[in-house]
Amino acid sequence: MPGARADHTIHGSHRHFGWDNAIPPAMHCAPGDTIAFECRDAGNGHYTAESTAADVATMNPDEINPVTGPVFVDGAAPGDALKVTIHDFAPSGFGWTAIIPGFGLLADQFSEPRLHLWTYDATGRTPMLFGRHARVPLRPFAGTIGVAPAEPGRHSVIPPRAVGGNMDIRDLTAGTVLILPVAVPGALFSIGDTHAAQGDGEICGTAVESAMTTTVTLDLVKGAAPSTPRFTVPGPATRHVDAAGYEVTTGIGPDLMTAARDAVAGMVDLIVALTGMLPEEAYMLSSVAGDLRISEVVDQPNWVVSFYFPLSVLD
């Protein structure tokens, strides 16, 4: 529910940079408590309004994707399900998208750093401007959301896991209910890596990375842990961009990753041809606004991956 009242607030100073079930909890809560989390952006505040592409190289790799928490949920035990009801987001109005050398679906084709800074209407009444070329609707969500793994030691926050983490699912937004498997006593829930917008696939490796506060309710379903996260979306997932239709490119072949790369490369070329923007700009815009979809995986030996780009974002 938008505007849900929080029983507790966890400030952004309570953040960590890897999953580790030995991290002391920032707080304990009872099942059913509603908590506001102050989330830092994926660069941990590295970028400012004065940043340039040169600052991509100076970002500390050990401080990527901070998450706020963890929260110990009283009574949570391995085998339980943690029910996370996502109520709302309070965006900061500032964000960034970057091409990071060596990172992203087309890293071999885009090897130079690039940075786009966003200053946007945090109310979402007007779209976020991508230069003179495009307008991207605000649709905030948490890119990283999960609980501590059972395995001891520190685990990177970058790859997603069976207990959640850096899933980058754009539909984990206000109104969604996420179910996570509890792996350790107390669950040790954390959230962060908030995004102002992203397309399915996050193909250049970054979305509109933006600090914001998110409010969630944490509850328990005893003995109901799924094997991997699942979630319920309360309504249409793409109506914020559907109105003007799409341009769609495809990749076809026996390897899904290669097909995905081909579909995205084709869209980058098409956007450049349609708008005159630079390929690097088209790649970043595709990451925040376009969607990778598996269209067919039954007609062997070749599969089809499609990339949908919403025409509503183009001027």
Residues 227 and 250 in one domain: no
Phi first, then psi: what are they for 246, rounded to 5°?
A: -140, 155
Is 133 a member of any domain?
Answer: yes
What value, to the nearest 5°, has the Cα angle with vertex 264 and ends 259 and 265? 95
CA distance 285 to 289: 6
Assess contact for 173 and 89: CB atoms under 8 A.
Answer: yes
- Residues in Cβ contact with 93 at an 8 Å cutoff, skipping those fewer than 6 apart: 119, 120, 121, 122
Closest C-alpha to 269, from 253, 261, 97, 201 = 261
189 lies in some domain: yes
Q: Is 224 helix (H, G, I), strand (E, B) or coil?
A: coil
Statement to judge: residues 207 and 129 lie in one domain: yes
Whether 2 maps to a domain, the answer reads no
Residues 250 and 222 in one domain: no
168, two tokens: 């980058």
Q: What is the pLDDT of residue 28?
A: 97
Is residue 68 domain-resident? yes
Token pair recorded at residue 59: 């970002």
Question: What is the DSSP annotation of 124-187?
Answer: -SSPEEETTTEEE----EEEEEEE--SS-S-EESSS-BTTEEE---TT-STT-EEEEE--STTE
CB distance 101 to 114 below 8 Å: no
Helix, strand or coil, per DSSP, at residue 57 = helix
Q: Which residue has the tokens 């102002």?
A: 196
pLDDT tens over the chain, length 315 residues: 456 788 999 999 999 999 999 999 999 999 999 999 999 999 999 999 999 999 999 999 999 999 999 999 999 999 999 999 999 999 999 999 999 999 999 999 999 999 999 999 999 999 999 988 899 999 999 999 999 999 999 999 999 999 999 999 999 999 999 999 999 999 999 999 999 999 999 999 999 999 999 999 999 999 999 999 999 998 887 888 888 999 999 999 999 999 999 999 999 999 999 999 999 999 999 999 999 999 999 999 999 999 999 999 996
146 vs 1, 151, 167, 273, CA distance in Å?
A: 21, 15, 9, 40
- Any long-range contacts for 242-249 (C-beta under 8 Å, 24+ apart)? 242/310, 242/312, 243/312, 244/310, 244/311, 244/312, 245/310, 245/311, 246/308, 246/309, 246/310, 246/311, 247/271, 247/274, 247/308, 247/309, 247/311, 248/306, 248/307, 248/308, 248/309, 249/306, 249/307, 249/309
CB 253 within 8 A of CB 262: yes
> Do 264 and 297 have their domain in common?
yes
CA distance 77 to 220: 9
Residue 237 forms part of a structural domain: no
* Per-residue model confidence (pLDDT) at position 113: 98
One domain for residues 174 and 303:
no
State the CATH number of the domain containing residue 307: 3.10.28.20
Q: Say if CB 249 and CB 295 are below 8 A apart.
A: no
Last residue of a domain, one of 232, 259, 283: 232
CA 193 – CA 210 distance, rounded (Å): 8
Q: How many structural domains compose the chain?
A: 2
Q: Is residue 30 part of a domain?
A: yes
Tell whether 55 and 202 lie within a shared domain: yes
- Please report the pLDDT score of residue 2 as a whole number: 54
User: Do 308 and 217 sit in the same domain of this protein?
Assistant: no
Containing domain of residue 280, as a range? 246-313
Q: Which two tokens stand for residue 227?
A: 């094997």
Structure tokens at 290: 């376009």
Global pTM value = 0.95
Structure token pair of residue 13: 């100073």
Helix (H, G, I), strand (E, B) or coil at 170: coil
Beta bridge partners of 98: 115
- Residue that is last in its domain, among 205, 232, 259: 232
132 shares its domain with 260: no
Strand partners, 268: none
Q: Whole-angstrom distance between the N-terminal and C-terminal Cα of the chain?
A: 33
Where among 232, 257, 281 does a domain terminate?
A: 232
**27 plus 169 within the same structural domain:** yes
Instruction: Tell me what pLDDT residue 235 has.
Output: 86
Do 180 and 144 lie in one domain? The reply is yes
Q: What is the pLDDT of residue 1?
A: 46
CATH number at residue 129: 2.60.120.580
